[in-house]
Structure 1
């Protein structure tokens, strides 16, 4: 079984990519939803027991690949458990447009959240880039992003 982490800033299309991969028959887990987080000192972090349970799961369907989506500070402690780390990115103006117009998630509509995301593009995204095995700029259709990721994962 291959495990793939899909990470990146809010608005880059992580959830959209997981939906596309799921529609193609791949096993996916979107850690933005469910009880995958705990708040420690005001910061959302992955709950160790939940992430361990996902990564230990043997059932990934016929594809043999599990895609896990999320971006949290403690994700690096799980990098050794992933075969690939895929960073999705987009230009700041694209993120602003997506966050202000999306209807599936309210995060980023508040000016403070938008400013936070744009700050993270400068401060956090370079750290994610260092560990990524692939970076995909998501200014192309999500089906094309999925094709690029699947080619990389093999």
Structure 2
């Protein structure tokens, strides 16, 4: 039983990689879809930020720990670090900012990043958040390579 968190900034290819893993028969959970996330206050009271619904993530992991099959979870949220001890790998997908912004401009399945203020947030988050993700990651994959190569590396971890 292997549980792998796939994390990274918008436009790095997380959803694309998970789609391919699902096509190969792996169990995947995209926490950006469904009721895995809620907007919740930050502990310091400075604002509200999307966070995992800890009860649901805990139940998912507990159920999966009994299955023996690999599980890939995709997400980039403020409270994901609470679950790091339960992941076998924390994989950061990364790409240069220009590549991420180009992908976001070209994608048709997700509207996030199309508006100027959203693009500005992606730039700011890449500067502020990506180094934190990198410091916690057990593996980093540069997604400028072909999607098949990214997926092969993820499969090798499972």
Aligned to 2:24: 24
Match of 2:56 among 34, 39, 50: 50
Matching residue of 2:139: 134
Report the secondary structure of 2:25's partner residue.
coil
Decide whether the 8 Å contact of 1:60 with 1:66 is kept in 2: no
Structure 2 gap ranges (5+): 42-47
> CA 1:69–1:115 in 2, change beyond 3 Å: closer, same or farther?
same
How far apart, CA to CA, are the structure 1 residues paired with 2:71 and 2:125? Answer: 26
Paired with 2:15 and 2:66, the residues of 1 have a C-alpha distance of 18
Matched, 1:115 2:124: no
After superposing on structure 2, the runs of 4+ consecutive aligned residues of structure 1 that deviate more than 4 Å are none
SS of the equivalent of 2:79 reads: helix
Shift of 1:58: 3.3
Aligned residues: CA RMSD: 1.6
- Tell me which of 97, 108, 131 is aligned to 1:92: 97
* SS across alignment from 2:102: helix
* Distance (Å, rounded) in 2 between the aligned partners of 1:115 and 1:78: 29
Q: Distance in 1 between matches of 2:50 and 2:97?
A: 23
Secondary structure of the corresponding residue to residue 32 of structure 1: coil
Give 1:80's aligned residue: 85
> Does the CA-based 8 Å contact 2:64-2:71 persist in structure 1?
no
Partner of 1:4: 4
SS of 1:6's partner is: strand
**Distance (Å, rounded) in 2 between the aligned partners of 1:103 and 1:121:** 22
1:124 corresponds in structure 2 to 129
